[in-house]
């Protein structure tokens, strides 16, 4: 029990942006070593304190109890949404990381309070428990919500649909059940987040477990069968209110990044690939006159390439698709970072006017053909994938792995894991920090969470 | 037996106590002001919050009034003490228990319902109950002053209606004034940063208040 509010809870995004710089990063890694010596996936602790003798190295690690979880996205048990006015709980603690295995469907509860550099496993929710209580499997995204912990899940235990959202109890972390009261036409799932000031929840679409676990299936992709819709829900009544179809050619609608200011009724969502021309795009959703609409605000074209340099899956096209697999919005709702995992580029857009993003920076790292180098490491495999922005918006962290079976299709020669840092000074300047390069031997890093919160971990009820 | 003044003062003090608690309404009022970028929205929201709080307490008052007419004074005190004690244990064990609520866009009616549920979940009315029971003394005094009243009338006026009504109104008026002043201060001057520094955990203190109320109710029987 604490007497004062958790110091990492902030009533508003503006207040969070004034927080001191983060000192640690938590990064999940996927173990991809050959079958003979397969080891568990892990939660790693990276030192981010400039001047520390262990700066930019791994200073802690927790192996999962089993092999083959495919740790993916993870999140906190509690965050700034605990200050929301209808039921404030400011004295709970941001203490546990909930780390789901996308392949195993286990959810790990990990305590980082006593020694933040030595995470401790305190509980595992097994796949059977999750399926029994919720009917869902393949948990994906975790968000600390105002009345529980929200978890998106790709599908049913048998590998089919529907996927959806489930709730975990705030206190004992037991699965409470499906979140949806009425799902309407929604079948596919991926991400979940909300415009908290408008009682609106949004979900996006990837594919059912059967559609994604063995790699992207070309017939499904070209047939427009992967997700291409955005779903709008009434957060309070838990009912589906709108399905927004971006067009069957817009395949895989993934990361949802709502504006942080609760008065802003909009947000951004990335689309991995268009089957028309292999371009990738970012769409803006906006609420006007009571309903939500979406339109494309960013399009990144494919880059022509010599088929000899392309993996088998891309040879017929003679081009590298940008593959927008992750996006991140700074806490001031001003800068949108866009990962182009295929072409190996991180783009930055000024989205002060969200309907008209203006590109104001770009960094090249890796890429299917380009393999752009890092100053500390030479040519890179993989490309900017998971992107995380610090609360103050001055530092951006990147990792390079997507999902094992998809990594193998787009980077068949293998991905050597890395994490890098970029410096983003406000008002211009956006460059690679030449000193910061973390290598993961035989392992692939995925999502990053910054100690005390970051630009995709918290929701704010006050502007 | 509690004196007249003692009763009013206690109700006003409890009004302050409820008004200061962010979970009882002022924080929601601030959020309404900020969300709609208007001080008027903040002030407007105080009305339904007060109505919800008042309703929550009125229900307890009706129960106390009914019980006082139906059961002997000692039993009323004992029963109330048991309920208060049990509620204190509940708040102690489950300090974060409340109805589920996840909405920011509220109509006046919804806000009143929210305030009612929140006040009820936190036992705001129960906390006032011992004071209402304390009014019994005031009632008896007035009954005794009017010689010749029948025993039945005496029973009915154990907890007098009018002083109870005035007492609750006084309480709610204090509560909403305090909540309103804090909400305006935070909205206009202090900013929400104050939440991070000044918001002490009163869960245990709140629970403790019920134990004290239970003890007082027993002692005064």
Pair of tokens at residue A366: 């890796």
Distance CA B53, CA B77 (A): 24
H-helix or E-strand spanning residue A436: strand A430-440
Question: CATH number for the domain including A141?
Answer: 2.130.10.10
The pLDDT of residue A90: 84
| Residue from B52, B94, B46, B50 nearest B206 by CA | B94
The pLDDT of residue B102: 67
B interface toward A at CB cutoff 8 Å?
A: 22-23, 27-28, 30-31, 34-35, 37, 96, 98, 100-105, 114, 118, 192-193, 195-197, 199-201, 203-204
| Residue from B173, B160, B93 nearest B132 by CA | B160
pLDDT higher at B65 or A74: A74
Q: Would the CA dihedral through A191, A402, A217, A267 be positive or negative?
A: positive
Which pairing describes strands A417-424 and A291-300: parallel, antiparallel, or unpaired? unpaired
| Residue from A412, A410, A460 nearest A218 by CA | A410
The pLDDT of residue A170: 87
The pLDDT of residue A422: 97
| Residue from A249, A100, A244 nearest A175 by CA | A100
B98 contact residues in A (CB cutoff 8 A): 87
| Residue from A381, A334, A383, A377 nearest A363 by CA | A383
> Taking the CA of residue B144 as centre, how many other CA atoms within 13 Å lie in the half-sphere pointing to its CB?
6
Write the DSSP string, B9-66. Answer: HHHHHHHHHHHH-GGGTHHHHHHHHHHTT-HHHHHHHHHHHHHHHHHHHHHHHHHHHH
Pair of tokens at residue A209: 């477990």
Using pLDDT thresholds of 50, 70 and 90, give the confidence band for residue A340. very high
* A5 falls within a domain: no
B48 contact residues in A (CB cutoff 8 A): none
Q: Do B96 and A170 touch (CB under 8 A)?
A: yes
* Residue range A36-76, pLDDT digits in tens: 567 899 999 999 999 999 999 999 999 999 999 999 999 99
* A158 falls within a domain: yes
Distance CA A449, CA A189 (A): 22
What percent of chain B lies above the pLDDT cut of 70? 85
* A8 falls within a domain: no
Look up residue A366 and give its DSSP letter.
Answer: B
Pair of tokens at residue A320: 């590298």
Backbone angles phi, psi at A358, to 5 degrees: -120, 120
Minimum-distance CB partner of B103 among A2, A12, A86: A86
Between the alpha carbon of residue B39 and those of residues A192, A220, A252, B66, B210, the distances in Å are: 33, 54, 43, 41, 35
Exposure string over A231-242, b if 16+ CB within 10 A, otherwise e: bbbbbbebebbb
Using pLDDT thresholds of 50, 70 and 90, give the confidence band for residue A188. very high
* A362 falls within a domain: yes
Instruction: Examine the predicted complex and report whether its ipTM is higher than 0.95.
Output: no
Pair of tokens at residue A202: 């949004």
Distance CA A268, CA A255 (A): 8
The pLDDT of residue A153: 98
Which pairing describes strands A137-145 and A319-320: parallel, antiparallel, or unpaired? unpaired
The pLDDT of residue A33: 67
Of all residues in chain B, the one with the smallest CA distance to A265 is B35
The pLDDT of residue B154: 42
- What's the count of helices (H) and strands (E) in chain A, helices before strands? 5, 32
Optimal mutation site among B48, B196, B203, B207, interface A, most CBs of chain A within 10 A: B196
pTM: 0.92
Using pLDDT thresholds of 50, 70 and 90, give the confidence band for residue A202. very high
Number of structural domains chain A divides into: 1
* A458 falls within a domain: no
**What is the three-class DSSP state of A90?**
coil
Q: Could you list the residue range(s) of the whole structural domain that residue A142 is in? A: 13-450
Distance from CA of A181 to the nearest CA of B (A): 15
Cis peptide before A162 (omega within 30 of 0): yes
**What is the three-class DSSP state of B138?**
helix
The pLDDT of residue A295: 97
What percent of chain A lies above the pLDDT cut of 90? 90
Backbone angles phi, psi at B149, to 5 degrees: -65, 145
* A443 falls within a domain: yes
Strands (E), A220-332: 229-234, 239-245, 250-258, 266-274, 280-288, 291-300, 303-304, 319-320, 324-329
Please check the confidence at residue B142 and state whether its pLDDT lies above 60. no
* A238 falls within a domain: yes
In sequence order, what are the residues at sequence separation of 6 or more whose Cβ sits closer than 8 angstroms to the Cβ of residue A40?
A: A31, A63, A64, A65, A66, A67, A68, A69
* Residue range A251-302, pLDDT digits in tens: 999 999 999 999 999 999 999 999 999 999 999 999 999 899 999 999 999 9
Please check the confidence at residue B151 and state whether its pLDDT lies above 80. no
Span A318-326, mean pLDDT? 97
Span A334-346, mean pLDDT? 97
B20 contact residues in A (CB cutoff 8 A): none
Write the DSSP string, B61-119. Answer: HHHHHHHHHHS-HHHHHHHHHHHHHHHHHHHHH-TT-------S---HHHHHHHHHHHH
Please check the confidence at residue B156 and state whether its pLDDT lies above 50. no
The pLDDT of residue A442: 85
Distance CA A334, CA B116 (A): 39
Beta bridge partner(s), residue A303: A320
What percent of chain A lies above the pLDDT cut of 70? 99
Between the alpha carbon of residue A182 and those of residues A37, A238, A396, the distances in Å are: 46, 7, 38
Distance CA A220, CA A224 (A): 6
H-helix or E-strand spanning residue A399: strand A395-399
CB B92 within 8 A of CB B26: no
Q: Do A11 and B200 touch (CB under 8 A)?
A: no
H-helix or E-strand spanning residue A337: strand A335-340
The pLDDT of residue B159: 65
* A263 falls within a domain: yes
Q: Would the CA dihedral through B189, B111, A84, A89 be positive or negative?
A: positive
Average pLDDT across chain B, whole number: 83
Using pLDDT thresholds of 50, 70 and 90, give the confidence band for residue B197. confident
């Amino acid at each position: 029990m604490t007497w004062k509010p958790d110091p990492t809870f902030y009533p508003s995004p503006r207040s969070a942006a004034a927080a001191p710089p983060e000192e640690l990063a938590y990064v999940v890694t996927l173990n991809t070593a050959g079958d003979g010596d397969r080891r568990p996936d892990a939660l790693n602790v990276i030192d981010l304190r400039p001047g520390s003798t262990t700066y930019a190295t791994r200073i802690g690690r927790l192996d999962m109890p089993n092999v083959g979880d495919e740790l993916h996205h993870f999140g906190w048990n509690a965050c700034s949404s605990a200050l929301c006015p209808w039921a404030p709980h400011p004295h709970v603690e941001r203490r546990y990381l909930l780390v789901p295995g996308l392949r195993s469907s286990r959810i790990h509860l990990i305590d980082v309070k006593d020694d933040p550099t030595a995470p401790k496993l305190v509980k595992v929710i097994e796949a059977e428990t999750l399926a029994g209580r919720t009917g869902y499997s393949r948990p994906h995204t975790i968000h600390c919500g105002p009345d529980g912990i929200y978890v998106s899940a790709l599908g049913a235990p048998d590998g089919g649909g529907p996927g959806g959202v489930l709730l975990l109890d705030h206190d004992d972390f037991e699965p409470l059940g499906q979140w949806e009261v009425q799902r309407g036409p929604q079948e596919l799932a991926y991400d979940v987040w909300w415009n908290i000031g408008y009682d609106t929840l949004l979900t996006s679409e990837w594919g059912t477990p059967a559609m994604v676990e063995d790699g992207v299936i070309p017939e499904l992709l070209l047939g427009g069968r992967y997700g291409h819709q955005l779903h709008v829900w009434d957060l309070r009544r838990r009912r589906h209110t709108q399905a927004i179809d971006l067009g069957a050619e817009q395949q895989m609608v993934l990361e949802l990044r709502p504006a942080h200011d609760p008065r802003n009724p909009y947000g951004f969502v990335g689309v991995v690939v268009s089957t028309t021309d292999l371009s990738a795009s970012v769409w803006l959703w906006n609420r006007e006159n009571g309903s939500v609409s979406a339109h494309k605000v960013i399009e990144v074209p494919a880059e022509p390439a010599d088929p000899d340099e392309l993996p088998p899956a891309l040879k017929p096209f003679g081009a590298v698709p940008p593959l927008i697999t992750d996006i991140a919005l700074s806490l001031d709702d001003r800068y949108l970072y866009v990962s182009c995992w295929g072409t190996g580029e991180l783009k930055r857009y000024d989205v002060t006017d969200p309907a008209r993003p203006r590109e104001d920076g770009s960094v090249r790292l890796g890429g299917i053909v380009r393999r752009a180098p890092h100053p500390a490491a030479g040519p890179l495999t993989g490309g900017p994938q998971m992107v995380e922005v610090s609360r103050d918006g001055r530092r951006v962290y990147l990792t390079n792995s997507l999902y094992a079976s998809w990594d193998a299709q787009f980077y068949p020669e293998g991905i050597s894991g890395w994490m890098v840092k970029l410096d983003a000074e406000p008002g211009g300047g956006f460059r690679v920090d030449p000193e910061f390069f973390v290598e993961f031997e035989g392992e692939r890093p995925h999502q990053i969470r910054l100690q005390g919160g970051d630009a995709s971990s918290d929701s704010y009820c006050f502007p | 037996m509690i004196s007249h003044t003692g009763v009013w003062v206690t109700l006003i003090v409890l009004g302050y106590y409820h008004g200061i608690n962010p979970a009882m309404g002022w924080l929601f009022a601030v959020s309404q002001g900020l969300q709609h970028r208007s001080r008027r929205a903040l002030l407007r929201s105080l009305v339904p919050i007060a109505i919800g709080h008042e309703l929550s307490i009125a229900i307890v008052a009706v129960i106390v009034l009914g019980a006082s007419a139906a059961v002997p004074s000692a039993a009323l005190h004992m029963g109330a003490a048991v309920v208060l004690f049990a509620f204190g244990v509940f708040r102690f064990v489950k300090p974060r228990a409340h109805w589920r609520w996840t909405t920011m866009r509220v109509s006046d009616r919804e806000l009143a319902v929210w305030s009612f549920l929140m006040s009820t979940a936190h036992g705001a009315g129960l906390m006032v109950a011992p004071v209402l029971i304390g009014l019994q003394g005031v009632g008896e005094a007035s009954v005794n002053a009017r010689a010749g009243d029948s025993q039945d009338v005496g029973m009915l006026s154990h907890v007098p209606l009018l002083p109870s009504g005035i007492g609750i109104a006084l309480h709610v008026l204090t509560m909403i004034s305090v909540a309103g002043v804090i909400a305006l201060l935070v909205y206009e001057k202090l900013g929400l940063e104050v939440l991070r520094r000044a918001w002490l955990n009163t869960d245990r203190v709140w629970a403790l208040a019920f134990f004290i109320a239970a003890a007082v109710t027993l002692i005064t029987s």
